[in-house]
Amino acid sequence: MNASISVIIFGATGDLYETRLSHALQALFAQGLLSQDVRIVGFGRRPLGDEGFRAFTAAALAKKGDASSDFLARCSYVQGDLGSQDDFIKLGRYLAEGDKKAGSCSNKIFYLAVPPPFYAGIFANIAAAGLTVPCAPGESHDDTSWTRVLVEKPFGKDGAEAERLDRMLGELFDESQIFRIDHYLAKETMQNILAFRFANPMFMPLWNKDHIERMKIIVHEEKTVGARGGFYDGVGALRDVGQNHMLQMLALVAMEQPLDMSASAVRSARAGILGGVRLDPGIAPFRAQYAGYRDEPGVAKDSATETFFRATVGVDDDRWRGVPFELESGKALGASRVAIEVHFKGGNMLAFAIQPREGIRLKFWFKRPGFDAALEERELSFGYADDAGGAISHDAYERVLYDCIRGDQALFISTEEIVEEWRITAAIIRGWQAVSLRLYPMGVAPESVQ
Ligand code: BG6
């Protein structure tokens, strides 16, 4: 990776940078996948200065391993307010000075690691400060320099806002510069769903309503909202993981085989299946909140935000008509488990396990040893971690950043997908209006609480 890169992080003192981005950036740097003169520029309100930001980054990195001094030396900080045009102009000047010193115009990545209400203001300020192009007017550059924006999920708070944001982004950037993140798509185990489905012909004839009874998509988390209450309370479980990660899990397990693995073919196959998703009219979705949630820092005392939801949808096409897809997610549950279970008619089950043990499990019937003909259920399983040499080596955020740098949009969400995701989300929200929010004790999934 030769051309130099500047990665500008909005929300640099937040949870995402601390727990994921700093680690992913350091790992890419160590592997030589970022230019050695890369600049990581934190932008935030706190008066940290370069040294303060390096100390913050070092402390974050130390939680999982060693912080490299070479990497820390590439980090710097611009203090500013996300809503202030002047502060963005200051940021622009800072970047231009850096480029001048380096003698070339660096490629720019703007990473929006902030809650959705800040997006529109940031886009407007990026434009006002002239940052939609990589180099300041009059500065020397070659035509291959680029500027890209990485936007975290959820993209907006509903369909109308997502469309507004998209229109705004569309006026400032070309679609090829916009990377809407769903880090689940960048997980190795998620990518393996397509590889497994389409490289193993034995399952293909079975992948339909004649052989599959139901699908279950599970994102159970043991952790509570912790320090993220301020973000989470404005979002809730459905918009935090349902609208995006879980619908993408559904898309990958149910979509038709794309014409090829190009970004446009894969994105349009995902959008195609999402377009057919309908709320099951016979099963009302519901939402619940864990006891004690309202006492979490940053959460409103009378919050009605859900920390758990369950919804059943179907796909209105010839392959899937009549097969229920049950989506279930919550925080503060007894155990963490992220998986897609494919339940076949007759009891066989294939699970794509995304957490905690990443791999694949296949349940089927064996004859129990002995003189009778009794059957028992057994499992064949494959775990990436047990596979010497084949363990998962890249975190999803490394993939997100790396694919953005190389300009590959296959694992990023298109406008069409966003529109469908919000349409489905709105139907679920309408569906649960009739039932009141339930409470569940920490550690107990609400189905056992009436
Ligand atoms: C994030 C959500 O997108 O995904 C979090 O905001 C959730 O609330 C997280 O905990 C789960 O991701 P992972 O990679 O830990 O499974």
Dist. CA 182 → ligand 1 center (Å): 10
CATH class of the domain whose range is 185-448:
alpha beta
d(Cα 346, Cα 343) in Å, to the nearest integer?
Answer: 9
Query: Tell me, what's the pLDDT at 142?
Result: 62
Is 220 an active-site residue?
no
Q: What is the 3-state secondary structure (H, E, C) of 229-288?
A: HHHHCCCHHHHHHHHHHHHHHHHHHHCCCCCCCCHHHHHHHHHHHHHCEEECCCCCCEEE
Give yes or no for a contact between 293 and 225, defined as CB atoms under 8 angstroms apart.
Answer: yes
Res 246: pLDDT: 98
What top-level class would CATH report for the domain 5-152? alpha beta
**Token representation of residue 191:** 């990518």
238 lines ligand 1 (CB under 6 A): no
- The secondary structure of 13-55 as a DSSP string is TSHHIIIIIHHHHHHHHHTT-S-TT-EEEEEESS--HHHHHHH
Closest CA to 303 of 229, 375, 240: 229
In the reported structure, the alpha carbon of residue 73 is separated from the centroid of ligand 1 by a whole-number distance in angstroms of 29
Q: Which ligand 1 atom is at minimum distance from the Cα of 20?
A: 14
Residue 400 Cβ contacting ligand 1 at under 6 Å = no
Distance 415 CA to ligand 1 centre (A): 22
Which of 425, 242, 202 has the alpha carbon at shortest distance from 327? 242
Place of tokens 């820390």: 72
Distance 102 CA to ligand 1 centre (A): 37
User: 247-254 and 263-275 are packed helices; what angle lies between their axes, rounded to 10 degrees?
Assistant: 100
Residue nearest to atom 7 of ligand 1 (CA): 241
Q: In what order do the strands lie in the sheet with 147-151?
A: 75-79, 39-44, 5-10, 107-112, 147-151, 178-180
* Distance from residue 241's CA to the centre of ligand 1 (Å): 7
Query: Quick one: which atom of ligand 1 is closest to the CA of 355?
Result: 16
Residue nearest to atom 13 of ligand 1 (CA): 184
Query: What pLDDT, on the 0 to 100 scale, is given for residue 450?
Result: 37
- pLDDT for the residue numbered 26: 97
Ligand 1 neighbour 190 (Cβ under 6 A): no
Work out which ligand 1 atom sits closest to the CA atom of 221: 10
* CA angle (107, 113, 116) in 5-degree steps: 120
**One fold for 5-152 and 185-448:** no
Residues 45, 56: Cα–Cα separation, whole Å: 14
Q: Measure the N-to-C terminal CA separation of the chain; round to a whole number of Å.
A: 57
pTM (predicted TM-score): 0.94
d(CA 241, CA 225): 13
Mutate to test the pocket of ligand 1, among 183, 394, 411 (most ligand atoms within 8 A of CB): 183
**pLDDT for the residue 388:** 67
Ligand 1 centre to CA of 337 (Å) is 12
* Residue owning the nearest CA to atom 4 of ligand 1: 241
221 lines ligand 1 (CB under 6 A): yes
Is the CB of 246 within 6 Å of ligand 1?
A: no
**Domain edges within the chain:** 5-152, 185-448
Instruction: Calculate how far, in angstroms, residue 240's C-alpha sits from the geometric centre of ligand 1.
Output: 8
Q: Ligand 1, residue 223: give the atom nearest the CA.
A: 10
pLDDT of residue 141: 58
Indicate whether residue 208 lines ligand 1 (CB < 6 A): no
In order along its 450 residues, the chain shows pLDDT tens digits of: 458 999 999 999 999 999 999 999 999 999 999 989 999 999 999 999 999 999 999 999 999 999 999 999 999 999 999 999 999 999 999 999 999 998 888 999 999 999 989 999 999 999 999 998 887 655 655 667 899 999 999 999 999 999 999 999 999 999 999 999 999 999 999 999 999 999 999 999 999 999 999 999 999 999 999 999 999 999 999 999 999 999 999 999 999 999 998 999 999 999 999 999 999 999 999 999 999 999 999 999 999 999 999 999 999 999 999 999 999 999 999 999 999 999 999 999 999 999 998 999 999 889 999 999 899 999 999 988 887 667 777 899 999 999 999 999 999 999 999 999 999 999 999 999 988 999 999 999 887 443
**Which residue, chain included where needed, has tokens 């389409």?**
198
| For ligand 1, atom 10: residue with the closest CA | 221
Catalytic residue, candidates 23, 183, 220, 245: 245
